[in-house]
Amino acid sequence: MTPPVTTLEETAAAYKQASEKAARRVVICGGTGCIANGALDVFEAFVEQVATAGLKVAVEFNEHTDRGSVLVSMSGCQGFCQMGPLVTVEPDGVLYTRVRPEDVAEIVEATLVRGEVVDRLLYVDPVAHTPCKGTAQIPFYQRQTRTVLAGCGIMDPEDIREYIANDGYVAARRAFTELKPETICEEITLSGIRGRGGGGFPTGRKWELTRIQPESKKYVICNGDEGDPGAFMDRSVMEGAPHRVIEGMMIAARAIGADEGYVYVRAEYPLAVARMKKAVEDARAMGILGDNVFGTGLKLELHVMEGAGAFVCGEETALIASIEGHRGMPSPKPPFPAQSGLWGKPTVINNVETLATIPLILNMGAAEFRRRGTEKSPGTKTFALTGHVANTGLIEVPFGTTLREIIFDIGGGITRKDGSIDPEGFKAVQIGGPSGGCLTEEHLDLPLDFDSLRGVGAMVGSGGLVAMNRNTCMVAMARFFMQFTQNESCGKCVLCREGTKQMLALLDDIVEGRADQGTLDILEKLAVAVQKGSLCGLGKTAPNPVLSTLRHFRAEYEAHVFQKRCPAGKCKALLTPEIDAQLCKGCGLCLRTCPVGAISGERKQPHVIDPAKCIKCGACVAACKFNAISGAIS
């Protein structure tokens, strides 16, 4: 049965009328990070404590909402996961961090009843050491341009009416009722948007190529696989703004003439799966999806499918094979999915963030969209900022922003092991995950976009951005990514399957002190061969972390190979713990701690370590109160 078509205006008006009745709104971050830290308990505590304080509580705006009530709702990830669970109180503009259920009664009493701020739960700027009342004062948020993420962290992702009340589905309705498919493709081409899935292919061109295919059956696919270690941008968009993703898919479907589509989400993202499923169901129930989209008689069915959890399944031909029920293995291109995709039909496959950006482009127009970003990479990009920075989390900046702005202004600067800021501590940044590369101090002022990064041997890739301090070993870092790609190679081509294995073995030789000049030479040659001879992007980009570190940190490789020394003091096999006789007080703490009896010495006399027995565990370094032992991991 076709559901009734409710106009967007009616839904928006009803929602706004109900929302105006609320005196305050408490938004608890319901992203994966905050939920893992107890956000659901905080939510329950608010519902209970608001009622206990004698205030009217609502968990949804509707016609039964009492005037003056406090709405307690959840949002998608607000980006500042490290500080979660986050709680925002509006209209007060207060953001509380690391909130635990025990804190809730105090927030209710102070903020909701008396209108005061609970200072101890505010975020304290680690540089200026000042408490910040809300996002407007927090540098992490101030320096960002949140457009794709604008609603994430504010809106209730499970309430379609709130999305609609914020102009949701207006662009999709225009696409279905006013615009011709070719006009949509033209507008998207004019906007200059390039795919956010890593490759940066122009979206308009991909759509137009699919649109002109003569077949009547076509598909649209949203790639929500996101298998890169450390990346969580697409997950956050699906969790925080699922309707925006659906709206982008609807516009893509209309542009190419598809009547069916799939949202492919990795199974390890249960919250994203659940929210996408609910969003599809709610959109169908409102006649936005289904047999009669916006009453036009046009059909669009979307399915949410859970991916098997292999990194290679994010590659578009492997993803298509996976939906078809085959093993997720890439196949050669051409034919491109635009020509022959799912079940041999023309298919557009786009990244989550690309699709979430599409409604913005139709709403603001291509020219306005181009005002952000750079000439050849317009718009904004989300990044997962992690590593040795004071503020980690999900960020969104215009293309063209520099690494310096991201790491120092948004990230708050490089941190030491104890978490304090080290103004001189920057060593490198790894960008683009396993397909990307490492950049150095000399690249800090490089405006980031698809082309500038390729030029220096890195890639926007997944959008993972790992900042590293001076205690990071670049060889070990390259090895980490090689281990990942080697594990994830599907095995179809020899160069990727065997080449990544051999590269990993060579890197093992380097970090374990068995390498010589030949090791470095073979590693470099093999990296180029794997790059050239692999079938899909996994193999083609797998050598990037190695090649970029060889290019920018060659001296560090050479220290491992020729001096058998790890300059960062991280590679265990190359360490030689030694006791400084001047500093040693002969207290015997290390001697008692050593698990293999490698330390000897009389009381009150300097102790010594027998290198033949030592297993380099570092226990003695941690035990020594006089910092007398060096050369091991502490």
- Nearest distance from C-beta of residue 34 to ligand FES, angstroms: 3
Q: What residue 596 binds from ligand SF4, ligand FMN, ligand FES, none (CB within 5 to 8 A, per partner kind)?
A: ligand SF4
Among residues 283, 619, 624, 628, the one that binds ligand SF4 under rule CB under 6 A: 619
Give the gyration radius of the chain's Cα atoms: 27
Among residues 351, 392, 486, 500, the one that binds ligand FMN under rule CB under 6 A: 351
Q: In angstroms, rounded to a whole number, what is the distance separating the alpha carbons of residues 544 and 458?
A: 7
Whose CB is nearest to ligand FES?
31
Among residues 539, 543, 545, 567, the one that binds ligand SF4 under rule CB under 6 A: 539
CA atoms within 13 A on the CB side of 367: 0
Q: In angstroms, rounded to a whole number, what is the distance separating the alpha carbons of residues 395 and 464?
A: 10
Q: In angstroms, rounded to a whole number, what is the distance separating the alpha carbons of residues 626 and 420?
A: 22
Q: Which two tokens stand for residue 189?
A: 């081409």
316 contacts 349 by C-beta, under 8 angstroms: yes
- Nearest CA to 294 out of 458, 383, 397, 174 is that of 174
- Nearest CA to 57 out of 113, 119, 16, 135 is that of 113
Q: What residue 77 binds from ligand FES, ligand FMN, ligand SF4, none (CB within 5 to 8 A, per partner kind)?
A: ligand FES
Q: Is there binding between residue 524 and ligand FMN (CB under 6 A)?
A: no
Per-residue x/- marks for ligand SF4, 491-530, CB under 6 A? xxx--xx---------------------------------
Taking the least distance from each CB to ligand FES, the nearer of 86 and 609 is 86
232 contacts 487 by C-beta, under 8 angstroms: no
Q: In angstroms, rounded to a whole number, what is the distance separating the alpha carbons of residues 377 and 357?
A: 13
Q: Is there binding between residue 386 and ligand FES (CB under 6 A)?
A: no
Q: In angstroms, rounded to a whole number, what is the distance separating the alpha carbons of residues 277 and 267?
A: 13
86 contacts 95 by C-beta, under 8 angstroms: yes
Among residues 79, 84, 168, 198, the one that binds ligand FMN under rule CB under 6 A: 198
Q: Which amino acid is at 198?
A: G
332 contacts 340 by C-beta, under 8 angstroms: no
Q: What residue 80 binds from ligand SF4, ligand FES, ligand FMN, none (CB within 5 to 8 A, per partner kind)?
A: ligand FES
- Nearest distance from C-beta of residue 452 to ligand FMN, angstroms: 18
Among residues 286, 620, 624, 628, the one that binds ligand SF4 under rule CB under 6 A: 620
Q: Is there binding between residue 593 and ligand SF4 (CB under 6 A)?
A: yes
Q: Is there binding between residue 80 and ligand FES (CB under 6 A)?
A: yes
Question: Using alpha carbons only, what angle is made at residue 540 by residues 456 and 555, rounded to the nearest 5 degrees?
Answer: 45
Q: Is there binding between residue 69 and ligand FMN (CB under 6 A)?
A: no
Whose CB is nearest to ligand SF4?
539
What residues from 19 to 58 belong to the interface with ligand FES (CB under 6 A)? 29, 31-34
279 contacts 160 by C-beta, under 8 angstroms: yes
Cross-strand pairs, 305: 264
E strand or H helix that includes residue 96: strand 94-96
Q: Write out the E strands in 544-604.
A: 578-579, 599-600
Among residues 12, 61, 84, 414, the one that binds ligand FES under rule CB under 6 A: 84
Q: What residue 86 binds from ligand FMN, ligand FES, ligand SF4, none (CB within 5 to 8 A, per partner kind)?
A: ligand FES
Among residues 81, 431, 453, 538, the one that binds ligand FMN under rule CB under 6 A: 538
Q: What residue 196 binds from ligand FES, ligand SF4, ligand FMN, none (CB within 5 to 8 A, per partner kind)?
A: ligand FMN
Taking the least distance from each CB to ligand SF4, the nearer of 292 and 593 is 593
User: How many residues sit close enough to ligand FES to count as binding (CB under 6 A)?
Assistant: 12
Q: What residue 632 binds from ligand SF4, ligand FMN, ligand FES, none (CB within 5 to 8 A, per partner kind)?
A: ligand SF4
DSSP string, 339-407: TS-GGGS-EEEEEHHHHHHHHHHHHH-HHHHTTSB-SSSBSEEEEEEEESBSS-EEEEEETT-BHHIII
Specify the residue for token string 């941190």.
415
DSSP string, 13-63: HHHHHHHTTEEEEEEEE-SHHHHHTTHHHHHHHHHHHHHHTT--EESS-ST
Q: Is there binding between residue 351 and ligand SF4 (CB under 6 A)?
A: no
Q: Is there binding between residue 237 and ligand FES (CB under 6 A)?
A: no
Q: Is there binding between residue 195 and ligand FMN (CB under 6 A)?
A: yes
Segment interacting with ligand SF4, rule: CB under 6 A, options 199-207, 254-262, 418-426, 590-598:
590-598
Among residues 599, 607, 624, 628, the one that binds ligand SF4 under rule CB under 6 A: 599
- Nearest distance from C-beta of residue 597 to ligand SF4, angstroms: 8
182 contacts 256 by C-beta, under 8 angstroms: no
Taking the least distance from each CB to ligand SF4, the nearer of 34 and 507 is 507
Q: Which parts of this chain interact with ligand FES (CB under 6 A)?
A: 29, 31-34, 77-81, 84, 86
Q: Which parts of this chain interact with ligand FMN (CB under 6 A)?
A: 195-199, 201, 203, 223, 225-227, 311-312, 314-316, 349-351, 354, 536-538
Q: Which parts of this chain interact with ligand SF4 (CB under 6 A)?
A: 312, 330, 489-493, 496-497, 534-536, 538-539, 577, 593-594, 596, 598-599, 609, 614-620, 632
